[in-house]
Amino acid sequence: MSGRAAWRLETLGYSMVYRYAVGKVDWLSSGLPSDGQLAAEPRVRDLARKVSTCRLGQRVGDLHVASDDVCVVVNNEGVILGDLRGKALRADPLTPVDRVMDPGPSTYRPNVSVHEMAHDLLESGARQVLVSDADGRLIGLLRREDVLRAVDEQHAREGGPILASSRG
C-alpha cells in the first residue's frame, strides 16, 4: 500500500501496518496471501508439485529425474536458469546440462487462477509448465491434468460446466 495509506491506518490504531513499496502485483505474484472477492479462487500455487532439479555443470548421466520427464536447472538460490525435457534428457550421459538445457523456459506466477491457467494450457497445448515466484525462484511443476481436475471439481461444487471433454 502507499505510504499515505500506511500512515493513515496507523493513526486509526492499526499496529501491524506494512508498506510494500514494489506493489500489489509483486505481492500477489510472490504467492503472498490476499483478501477480497477473488482471494478464495484456487490458484496454481496450490497445485504445483515438486520437480527434479539439477545444476549447471552436472552431466546428463548424473541426473535423477522423476516421472515428469523434466529437470529444472536452478542456482544456489533456487532461481530457474533453464530446464531439460525429452531429447535433452536422453543426450549423451557425459554432456553437461549447460549444453542441452532450454535457457528460457516459460514460467507462471503462483497467483494465476486455475481457470486462467486451464485456458492457457488448453490454448497452448502445453502438458506442463513451471511455477516461479516474482524473483524467478522455482515453486514447482504444474501439470495440465491437475489444473483441469481442479477446475472440474470447483465447477462441480458450484454447479458449472465440466471441462473433462477438453482433455487430450
Contacts of 62 (CB under 8 A, 6+ apart): 93
Pick left, alpha or beta for residue 140 (phi over 0 → left; psi -120 to 50 → alpha; otherwise beta).
left
110 within 8 A of 27, measured Cβ to Cβ: no
C-alpha span between 163 and 141 (Å, rounded): 21
pTM of the full structure: 0.74
Fold entry, domain 31-166? CBS-domain (3.10.580)
Q: pLDDT (tens digit, 9 = 90+) per residue, 59-95? A: 999 998 987 689 999 999 999 999 999 999 999 999 9
All CATH 3.10.580.10 domain ranges of the chain, comma separated, are: 31-166
Which amino acid, 35? D
Q: pLDDT (tens digit, 9 = 90+) per residue, 35-66? A: 665 566 778 898 999 999 999 999 999 998 98
**Grid cell in block for residue 97:** 546440462
Q: pLDDT (tens digit, 9 = 90+) per residue, 108-150? A: 998 898 989 999 999 999 999 999 988 899 999 999 999 999 8
**Grid cell in block for residue 2:** 502507499
Start-to-end Cα distance in the chain: 43
